[in-house]
């Protein structure tokens, strides 16, 4: 219990200092909002023009089910005859789809399983496979379309089961439906441009949360130079307690930044948290966890304030554009998207984009969540090793 009180005392001291430091508090909370506002108005007109001219996404359908009258082929034929609003539909055979994807002519397609019809009508279940390259926008469109097909088939299966339980005649369900899956089409008029806040605010939030955490490392270096750390250790604080207290104070500041800028984006600019707002919040919490671990890591690598401050600025300003904080990663070349994966910023921003721009859900960002946890674990492990081999105070 005494150990917990000491950790909370260290964290409380840092937060009290921050509350008294008006410039530092304004930097941590005001600068992200100012940057987001500026880029919101800079990008808004351009996005409106591009959205009006943007063609609908093309959905390529392929099937491995044999037979001209196979259910998947009937379904694809119905979709080709009655296209779904907002999508261009094309059909190719499985081999051609794979070849086009390999050559780069195609960025992704939906593949019906070889036993698709049998699985649907036997109740054993089947699968729709989304095969895509690294283009997140195309993958999100394919996943959305495949999800609509699966949902309609599940509804039909549930209706058949309900009628069976009532001993109702099931002759209508004995043969595959001639029209396949039905989609309702709604004319929504002009395509609305994306809200710039949906990617500018998350991007700058990632940038400034990591920047504030990096400056926490510089604060630790200042306390080492001024003798504050030595006094805390002399007062009974173990080095591990001091470090964990620093971690908690960095995490508390990160959570405050997430809350303030998130509410600002939602209330002022109508920022959309996506179809799974709780998953979006989970990404933000993991980002705070990683940034706090990064603060302790940076503190373990630099010993003086003169070295810590430039290191904090360099780390923030290099990782931010590289990780997609200044522009969405999905508009950058493939090599830059791959390079972004060496930073936690890249994983966090990719997750935010999938959730807030492309309608993704938990399974769409499971890889990004695991990667963020991995970054936090690696940063914390390296910091712990460094502080075991190098004393906290000189």
pLDDT at residue number 283:
93
SS3 111: strand
* DSSP category for residue 175: S
Which token pair is 113? 């399983």
Cβ neighbours, 10 Å, residue 198: 22
Domain boundaries, the chain: 2-49+196-389, 55-173
Phi-psi map region of 242: left, alpha, beta (phi>0 left; psi -120 to 50 alpha)? alpha
At what angle are helices 366-389 and 239-269 packed, to 10 degrees? Answer: 150
* Distance separating alpha carbons of residues 9 and 322, to the nearest angstrom: 37
Q: Where are the alpha helices (DSSP H) in 166-276?
A: 197-226, 228-234, 239-269
pLDDT at 236: 73
The whole-angstrom separation of Cα 44 and Cα 28 is 25
| Residue ranges of the chain with per-residue pLDDT less than 50 | 46-53, 168-191
Strands of the sheet with 88-91, listed across from one edge: 88-91, 58-63, 108-112, 128-132
**d(Cα 58, Cα 76) in Å, to the nearest integer?**
14
Is the separation of the CB atoms in 146 and 113 below 8 Å? no
The string of pLDDT tens digits covering residues 243-256 is: 788 888 888 888 88
Question: pTM of the entire structure?
Answer: 0.60
pLDDT tens digits along 155-172: 666 655 555 555 544 444
pLDDT at 369 (0 to 100): 94
Question: What CATH number is given for 55-173 in this structure?
Answer: 3.40.1710
* Structure token digits, residue 239: 């080095």
What CA–CA distance (Å, rounded) separates 372 from 370?
5
């Amino acid at each position: 219990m005494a150990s917990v009180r000491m950790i909370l005392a260290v964290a409380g001291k840092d937060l009290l200092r921050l509350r008294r430091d008006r410039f530092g508090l304004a930097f941590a909370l005001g600068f992200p909002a100012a940057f987001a506002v500026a880029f919101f108005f800079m990008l808004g007109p351009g996005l409106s023009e591009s959205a009006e001219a943007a063609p609908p996404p093309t959905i390529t359908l392929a099937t491995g089910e044999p037979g001209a009258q196979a259910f998947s082929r009937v379904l694809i034929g119905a979709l080709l005859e009655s296209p779904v609003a907002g999508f261009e539909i094309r059909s190719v055979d499985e081999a051609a789809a794979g070849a086009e994807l390999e050559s780069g002519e195609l960025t992704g397609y939906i593949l019906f399983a070889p036993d698709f019809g049998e699985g649907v009508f036997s109740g054993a279940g089947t699968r729709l496979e989304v095969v895509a390259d690294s283009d997140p926008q195309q993958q999100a469109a394919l996943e959305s379309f495949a999800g609509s097909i699966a949902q309609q088939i599940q509804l039909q299966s549930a209706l058949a089961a309900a009628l069976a339980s009532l001993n109702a005649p099931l002759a209508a369900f004995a043969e595959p439906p001639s029209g396949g899956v039905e989609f309702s089409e709604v004319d929504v008029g002009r395509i609305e441009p994306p809200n710039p806040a949906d990617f500018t605010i998350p991007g700058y939030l990632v940038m400034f949360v990591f920047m504030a955490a990096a400056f926490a490392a510089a604060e630790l270096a200042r306390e080492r130079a001024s003798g504050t750390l030595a006094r805390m250790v002399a007062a009974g604080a173990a080095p591990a307690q001091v470090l964990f207290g620093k971690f908690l104070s960095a995490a508390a500041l990160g959570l405050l930044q997430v809350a303030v800028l998130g509410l600002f984006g939602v209330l002022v600019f109508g920022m959309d948290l996506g179809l799974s707002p709780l998953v979006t919040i989970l990404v933000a919490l993991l980002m705070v966890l990683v940034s706090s671990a990064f603060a302790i890591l940076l503190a373990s690598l630099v010993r003086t304030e003169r070295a810590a401050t430039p290191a904090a600025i360099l780390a923030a300003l290099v990782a931010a554009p590289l990780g997609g904080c200044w522009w969405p990663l999905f508009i950058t070349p493939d090599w830059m998207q791959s390079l972004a994966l060496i930073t936690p910023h890249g994983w966090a921003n990719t997750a935010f984009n999938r959730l807030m721009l492309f309608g993704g859900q938990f399974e769409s960002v499971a890889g990004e969540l695991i990667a963020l946890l991995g970054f936090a674990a690696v940063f914390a492990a390296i910091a712990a090793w460094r502080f075991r081999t190098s004393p906290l105070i000189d």
